[in-house]
Structure formats: structure tokens, C-alpha cells
Amino acid sequence: MGLELRLALRTTLAGVITFAVGHVLKLPQAYWAVLTSVIVVQASVATTLKAAADRMLGTVAGGLWGVIVTLVLPRHGPLAVGVTLAVALAPLALMAALRPSYRMAPITAVIVLLSSTGVQLGPVHYALDRVLEIAVGCVIGLAVSILVVPDRAQGLLADAAAEVILTLRALGDLLFSELRRPADAVAVGAMHARLNQTLARVEALVDEARRERAHRLSDTPDVEPFARTLRRLHHDFTAIGRAVAEPLPPVTLSHLADPVGELRRALADYLTESAGAVRGRRPPPAPAVVNRALLAFRAATDRLRQSGTLRELTIEELERVLSLGFALQQLTIHLTDLSERIAEHATTRPAAADGSAGATTRTEGDRTS
């Protein structure tokens, strides 16, 4: 069942169950509870928890202030009601502007002040009824999100992270596909736009996962290092893209073309398998092949330097060749980081295997950069 279908199922069940509970409890205006349960059910448990907490907090704050203003200020005539409304709304509107969690407060105060039912029952009774109805809706919405085909932020984050890795794989394939002519700038720009969008989604899900851990709804490791590694990999591919934006100097291709072709294939396989491991919460693939390809490129660069060919290049050409080498060195480090992050979040432990260590020994500064 897809994410959209699961969300639709939870929303429908929350609304129907809340309607039934409201009928059993004989809530005076049960539709407020139904509306609340439908509104607070979100894509993940963490966002549902936040939506429920925000709605409850805003309702209590708005209802309490609305009752105080109603009891203190007269409401005889349109002018007096307008003044009372202004006094009630001004501080709540400012609070909602400063703290979005209170955005329901002005709405609740308006309902308490202007509802004809509130005039008949009295502000205190009416406000208590609204708070009870909202509380019922929040509790049922949250319970349904936790108990009915729940979507944890961790799972949604895994899907988003896998999408980032697959997009990086496509970007790498595009950048390394042809060194004798410029890369397709339009296609590269579209890849980066997609990466920025997906990384923004990852950042949002990191906050949700942190919220789930804070409320003991999840016991998974901290996901911020995972998001940080994905950002660094994006930076690496951006640096690679700048280095190959123009064709590499023809005199260097006899040394670099084959290693780059090997690296292209190894990266494609490794990133594809890494994306599958992230989605399935499996151990990372062995990095031996991609590490060998990166080492082969480094060896080719050393031979290029020893042959004296680099002296034939212009300053701009030399800068691009060296920048490519540096970007690939950083990529080696961050691919090892990626492997470690995948292993941290895997539900099964990988078996020891030769070649599992990264090709580059990292310093403490590399880890924290």
C-alpha cells in the first residue's frame, strides 16, 4: 500500500471513529472533534504529533484568553463587541506571528467571542466544550496515526535518502559520460534542482525523526549525520561538475579516460546498491570495487604528473585537472561515511569481508569537516 493510500485510510478512519466517539459521549458539537481528527492526521507519526500538540495548545490559549476578555469587557452593542474583539485578537495574533504553534489561538478566541451558541451557554461553558471536542479529535487522530499502518519518519527518510543517492548516481553518470565535450548544462541543472528539492525534504524529515525519538516513538540512531553525509556528497558532485564543465585537455585523456570510465561504472553500481540498502535497511554494499576505481584514477594522475604532461597545460586546464582529483579524493572520504551511516541504520549486521574498509585513512578533521 502506497504512502498516499495509507494516509487516506488513516484520515478516513480517524474521522469515522471520532464521529462515533462524539455520538457516544454526546458532545454538543461533535463536528469540531471530527474536523480536528481529520486535520491532525499527517503523513508521519511525528507530524501528526506536532499538529495535535499545536492545535491543542492554540485551542487552550485562545479559549482561555477569549473567556477572560469576554468576562472583563462589556459586549453591549456592535462598537463594544468590536473593541472586545480587537483586545482579544491583538495579543493572540502577535503570539501566532511569533510562534506558529499558536496559530489556532486567534481562531478559537473569535469562536468564543462571536458564536451565538457561546452567547447562550456562556463563555466558560462554551470554551470548555470546545477544548473537550478538540482534545477528543487530537487523541483519536494521534492514536490512529500510531496504530493503523503507521508511517514513521525513519521510513520516509529512508525513501528520501535513497532518492538522493539515485539522483547522485544519475548525475555522476552524466558528468563522466563524455570527457571530450562539455556536459549537458540543462540536464545537469535539472539534476541539481531535483537534489536540492529532495535534500530539503530530507532536512524536514530529520526534524520529524528527532521529534519521534524525543517522544520515545522511535529508537533509531540519530539521522542528522546521515543527512550531513548526503549534503557533502552533493557538494562533491558539484565540485566534479565544475571540473568537467569543459572538456578535459586532450593530452590528458590517454591517461585519464579509462580510469574515469571504470570509475563511472563502479560508482553507478555502488550508489544503486547503496540506495537499495538504505530502503531495505540492509548492510551497505562492499566498497572494494569503487575504491579500486578511485585508486586507479589517483595512480593515473600520478603517472600524468610524472610524465611531464601537466607542464604543457594552461593554468586554467591544470586547475581543472587538479580540482577533479581533489573532488574525487573528497568523494572517497564521503562514500566511506555513507557506508558507515547505512551500516548504523541497518536492521541486520554485515558479515566481515575483505575490502570493506575505505581506501582513504581519515583524520578527525575529515570526520568533522
* Domain residue ranges of the chain, discontinuous segments joined by +: 3-147, 153-368
Output the pLDDT for position 124. Answer: 86
Grid coordinates 476578555 are at which residue?
69
Of the listed ranges 10-24, 43-57, 208-222, 325-339, the least confidently predicted one is: 208-222
Q: What is the pLDDT of residues 65-122, one digit of tens each?
A: 988 988 888 767 788 888 888 999 999 999 999 998 899 999 998 988 887 666 667 7
On the question of pLDDT at 361 being above 50, the answer is no
CATH number of 153-368: 1.20.58
Q: Which of 21-25, 67-71, 132-136, 358-362 has the lowest mean pLDDT?
A: 358-362
Mean pLDDT of 21-48: 90
For residue 133, give the nearest of 269, 34, 229, 266 by alpha carbon: 34
The whole-number pLDDT of residue 195 equals: 94
**Cα 203 off chain centre by:** 4
Whether the per-residue pLDDT at 357 is higher than 60: the answer is no
pLDDT at 254: 82
Calculate mean pLDDT across residues 349-360: 42
The confidence score (pLDDT) of residue 365 equals 41
Is 354 a residue whose pLDDT tops 60? Answer: no
Q: How far apart are CA 240 and CA 57, in angstroms?
A: 49
Among 153, 141, 160, 164, CA closest to 210: 153
pLDDT for position 366: 44
Nearest to 93 by CA among 79, 104, 81, 80: 104
pLDDT band for 1, please (50, 70, 90 cuts): low
Count of other CB atoms within 10 angstroms of residue 369: 11
Out of 96-100, 162-166, 360-364, the most confident range is 162-166
pLDDT of residue 222: 81
Predicted local confidence at residue 320, as pLDDT: 85
What percentage of the chain has pLDDT greater than the value 70? Answer: 91
